[in-house]
Amino acid sequence: MNYHFLRLIVFSFVVSITNSALAVTLHDNIFRIEDPKNASSSLMLLNENTEDDFADVDDFENFDEISFNAPYNSWSNTAVNPYNINLLHSKDTFRVDVSGYTHPLDKVQRITSHFGPRRTRYHYGIDLKLNVGDTVRSSFDGMVRIAKIGRGYGYYVLVRHFNGLETIYGHLSKILVDTEQLVKAGDPIGLGGSTGRSTGPHLHYEVRYLGNAINPESLICFDNLSVKTPELLVSAETFRYKLDVDRMRNYTVRRGDTLSTIARRQGTTIRNLCRLNNITTKTTLRVGRVLRIS
């Protein structure tokens, strides 16, 4: 038999077998969801710069065995907000059952940073003081969507809840759950810490609806660890803070800049620059420093 003809037959057979194997793999794992048992051992290997990554999104419309009270149609184990929906312009009002709330910490803790503008960034959650190793619990029943390390959040967990909300728990010292794991309200999901962009032990806690952050203090009374009302109404008014976000402007200090020249060029005042950036007229402006202008 011709040698080259024999090689062609063998090559065709190998390609056929490979394609069949790939077809079975893709069919069996159509949502590209990793096995939770294998995911926990590779948390540190995931790309840490993915808090705002929109690339890794899975079609969720056929995930029939799980029902969420919100129009979710995507699932991502890396992107905090893969939905790209701005509810500031929504004409609908969504009713969310929050009667099953459990506080993420076992006791009342001081809020060290509130929801809103913070220096040159907008703070989309609240910070709760804790001790390293304190148990952090899921606020509602749901499924873990993200359990990984991020550049800003450090070790963090994001849970999609059956009532339509999603909650984020950041700066953990240890993650206790896997992606796609079902959790009940009050289940331990991590231990408190100070990982990521953090200046001390605390829990960064966020509440979101379709990727849009909600001020946790509009929902939760942190003095007695309970919700203010058993039903949360989510509408465009809930997200009016986004108008303030759109108005925020920053300026990077360049060589030769002074507060006077920056204020004049940016159409503001020295007093306003000092107030927004918690500085005085005697503060040394280092090249590269970012100042909030409005």
Clarify whether residues 101 and 224 are in a common domain: yes
Clarify whether residues 168 and 96 are in a common domain: yes
Q: Classify residue 19: in a domain, yes or no.
A: no
Number of neighbouring beta carbons within 10 Å of residue 289: 15
202, 226 Cβ separation under 8 angstroms: no
Q: Of how many residues is the chain composed?
A: 294
Q: Classify residue 43: in a domain, yes or no.
A: no
Structure tokens at 35: 């096995």
Q: Classify residue 51: in a domain, yes or no.
A: no
Residue 243 is predicted with a pLDDT of: 87
Q: Which of 172, 128, 134, 131 is closest to 150 using CA atoms?
A: 172
Helix (H) or strand (E) holding 12, with range, is helix 3-28
Clarify whether residues 226 and 264 are in a common domain: no
Task: Provide the CATH number for the domain around residue 138.
Answer: 2.70.70.10
Show which of 244, 262, 281 is a domain's final residue: 244
Number of neighbouring beta carbons within 10 Å of residue 244: 12
- Give Cα separations from 111 to 56, 217, 245 (angstroms): 33, 10, 22
> Alpha carbon 142 to chain centroid distance?
16
The helix/strand/coil state of 232 is strand
> Is residue 109 exposed (0-12), middle (13-18) or buried (19+ Cβ within 10 Å)?
buried
87, 217 Cβ separation under 8 angstroms: no
- pTM for the whole thing? 0.72
The helix/strand/coil state of 234 is strand
Q: What is the DSSP letter of 147?
A: E
Structure tokens at 282: 């005697």
Task: Provide the CATH number for the domain around residue 280.
Answer: 3.10.350.10
Structure tokens at 148: 């990984």
Beta bridge partners of 250: 292
pLDDT digits (tens, 9 = 90+) for 21-57: 333 222 222 222 223 333 333 333 233 333 433 333 4
190, 153 Cβ separation under 8 angstroms: no
Residue 6 is predicted with a pLDDT of: 46
> Tokens 């540190």 map to which residue?
44
Residue 276 is predicted with a pLDDT of: 79
The helix/strand/coil state of 146 is strand
Clarify whether residues 107 and 123 are in a common domain: yes
DSSP string covering 157-214: EEEEETTSEEEEEEEESEE---TT-EE-TT-EEEE----SS-SSSEEEEEEEETTEEE
Domain count, the chain: 2
Clarify whether residues 76 and 134 are in a common domain: yes
216, 126 Cβ separation under 8 angstroms: yes
Clarify whether residues 144 and 260 are in a common domain: no
Clarify whether residues 125 and 150 are in a common domain: yes
Clarify whether residues 164 and 260 are in a common domain: no
Clarify whether residues 200 and 283 are in a common domain: no
d(CA 59, CA 73): 6
d(CA 66, CA 60): 10
Q: Each residue's pLDDT tens digit in the chain (294 positions)?
A: 554 444 444 434 433 433 333 332 222 222 222 233 333 333 332 333 334 333 334 434 444 445 666 678 789 999 999 988 899 989 999 999 999 999 999 998 999 999 988 776 788 999 999 999 999 999 999 999 999 999 889 999 999 999 999 999 999 999 999 999 999 999 999 999 999 988 899 999 999 999 999 999 999 999 999 999 999 999 999 999 998 787 777 788 899 889 888 888 888 898 978 887 888 998 998 998 888 777
Look up the domain containing 267 and give its range.
249-292
